[in-house]
């Protein structure tokens, strides 16, 4: 009996409690990717080095010493990969453009081979009736710009504006769906404060500068898209979990929770909404206003996005700690909280479907947020190829449980209008390397063979 009870959640995964029609005809389903994680071909087609090329080739930075030099080889295999996407009946494809493939030196003369590559990708999407969604910046800053300080250098406002201006003028006639930044909290905190992501810088001063400049570029990028692309749908994305997901371990940890919320939920959306930085819960951000911002900056942070992209995978239970500084708190890992192993992903994250419901309700409560799209959601679980198939039942269950909660929020009036799976295919998962597999499509990185997983086959039937 105990064995059957343990299997019951997996058996239920084949029996979703919703249909495609319940989401509505206009609800969008797609998959999301990122250039460095899938393209490979890092020294081909005139591409210059990015901070992730440098970081992954620095000893001790990436699990097992892995890198994204080849990864899923999308650069050469994009046509076949888009055919797989089409076969699963997804009609929306989110991808990012490699800044250093367009401008090998970060600025200056554009690289015609890089420009042509993205034209081919866009055209291949359109030929299949797939809508391309471009993310302008998904973490892979040209190394040449990092050599000048990267996001800590205020000149990045000019570099980024020129880059965004070129992209929108070049591809705007074909592409009407745009996102400015991917998860600015993640790339500024991870790359310029904690040093766990490229470029590996540390320190509060670096973080505050990088964060402020990213927030300014977020708004300026929105203005550039709107100016250059008539009829564009303009958004940007945030990694987040709402206040009910940042659970305090005990009552005395409530201030810790507010600090987590201030950094991971509020820090970039509220300036865009004209609310300023979250100094109420994180007074250290006053240093931005007093020492980093220039006259007019606080007004320049504002932009009325057509939609916000929310990206969530888990929840965090937090408690007070003397380290790290700023947030003075840390997560209590799921295993320490007694979460069962089958509900902990290979990233060490808890599968907590109700969290996405609370998240959507929370962001819908902001005045000025009229449209929400889940621009990333997914899970990494161990995958095995058996008899030529990958039966990723636990990932399928994850998707079905999270989609149930998205539909719940939608039915309660939350203006959520789309859902993008992370991700189309297994890829290079940043500092974690290749072990965590998030894809709907299995990739054998030695042979580049693709296998649509059970989760992908379920979406194929669901979306048909």
Of 420, 392, 450, which Cα lies nearest the Cα of 90? 420
Cα(347)–Cα(316) distance, integer angstroms: 13
Choose, from 201, 261, 350, 376, the residue flagged as catalytic: 376
E strand or H helix that includes residue 214: helix 204-228
Map residue 324 onto helix, strand or coil: coil
Copy the structure tokens of residue 66.
Answer: 């892995």
Is 183 one of the annotated active-site residues of the chain? yes
Is 39 one of the annotated active-site residues of the chain? no
* Residue 49 burial (CB count, 10 A): 18
Beta-ladder partners of 194: 202
Q: Do residues 31 and 85 make contact, with C-beta atoms less than 8 angstroms apart?
A: yes
Copy the structure tokens of residue 457.
Answer: 């086959």
Cα(419)–Cα(311) distance, integer angstroms: 10
Of 439, 455, 425, which Cα lies nearest the Cα of 73? 425
Cα(325)–Cα(11) distance, integer angstroms: 45
Q: Alpha helices of 58-139 — where are they, by DSSP H?
A: 74-87, 99-102, 112-127
Q: Alpha helices of 229-353 — where are they, by DSSP H?
A: 254-261, 269-272, 286-287, 297-300
Choose, from 39, 183, 331, 429, the residue flagged as catalytic: 183
Cα(71)–Cα(135) distance, integer angstroms: 19
Cα(155)–Cα(148) distance, integer angstroms: 9
E strand or H helix that includes residue 421: strand 416-422
Beta strand 177-181 with 307-311 is unpaired
By CB neighbour count within 10 A (0-12 exposed, 13-18 middle, 19+ buried), where does 220 fall? buried
E strand or H helix that includes residue 24: none
Copy the structure tokens of residue 335.
Answer: 């295993």
Q: Do residues 306 and 233 make contact, with C-beta atoms less than 8 angstroms apart?
A: yes
Q: Do residues 31 and 423 make contact, with C-beta atoms less than 8 angstroms apart?
A: yes
* Residue 185 burial (CB count, 10 A): 20
Q: Which residues are catalytic?
A: 183, 376
């Amino acid at each position: 009996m105990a064995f059957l009870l343990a299997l019951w959640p997996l058996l239920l995964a084949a029996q979703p409690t919703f249909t495609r029609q319940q989401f509505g005809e206009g609800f969008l389903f797609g998959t999301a990717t990122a250039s460095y994680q899938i393209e490979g071909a890092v020294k081909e087609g005139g591409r210059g080095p990015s901070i992730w090329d440098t970081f992954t080739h620095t000893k001790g930075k990436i699990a097992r010493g892995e890198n994204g030099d080849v990864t899923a080889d999308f650069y050469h295999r994009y046509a076949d990969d888009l055919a797989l996407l089409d076969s699963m009946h997804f009609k929306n494809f989110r991808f990012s453009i490699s800044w250093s493939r367009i401008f090998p030196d970060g600025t200056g003369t554009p690289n015609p081979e890089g420009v042509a590559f993205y034209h081919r990708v866009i055209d291949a999407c359109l030929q299949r009736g797939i809508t391309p969604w471009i993310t302008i910046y998904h973490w892979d800053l040209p190394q040449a710009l990092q050599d000048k300080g990267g996001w800590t250098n205020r000149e990045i406002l000019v570099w980024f504006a020129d880059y965004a201006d070129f992209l929108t003028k070049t591809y705007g006639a074909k592409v009407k769906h745009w996102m400015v930044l991917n998860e600015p909290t993640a790339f500024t905190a991870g790359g310029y404060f904690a040093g766990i992501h490229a470029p590996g810088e540390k320190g509060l001063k670096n973080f505050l500068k990088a964060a402020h400049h990213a927030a300014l570029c977020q708004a300026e990028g929105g203005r550039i898209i709107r100016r250059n692309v008539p009829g564009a749908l303009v958004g940007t994305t945030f990694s987040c979990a709402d206040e009910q997901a940042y659970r305090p371990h005990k009552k005395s940890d409530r201030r810790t929770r507010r600090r987590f919320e201030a950094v991971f939920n509020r820090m970039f959306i509220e300036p865009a909404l004209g609310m300023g930085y979250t100094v109420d819960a994180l007074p250290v951000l006053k240093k931005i206003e007093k020492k980093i911002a220039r006259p007019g900056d606080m007004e320049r942070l504002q932009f009325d996005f057509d939609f916000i992209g929310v990206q969530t995978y888990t929840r965090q239970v937090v408690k007070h700690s003397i380290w790290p500084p700023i947030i003075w708190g840390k997560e209590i890992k799921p295993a320490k909280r007694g979460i069962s192993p089958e509900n902990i992903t290979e990233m060490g994250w808890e599968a907590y479907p109700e969290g996405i419901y609370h998240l959507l309700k929370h962001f819908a409560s902001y005045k000025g947020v009229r449209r929400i799209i889940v621009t990333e959601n997914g899970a990494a679980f161990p995958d095995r190829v058996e008899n030529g198939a990958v039966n990723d039942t636990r990932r399928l269950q994850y998707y079905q449980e999270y989609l149930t909660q998205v539909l719940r929020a939608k039915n309660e009036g939350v203006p959520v209008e789309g859902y993008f799976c992370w991700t189309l295919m297994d890829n290079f998962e940043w500092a974690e390397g290749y072990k965590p597999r998030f894809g709907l499509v299995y990739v054998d990185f030695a042979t580049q063979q693709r296998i649509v997983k059970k989760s992908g086959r379920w979406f194929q039937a669901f979306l048909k």
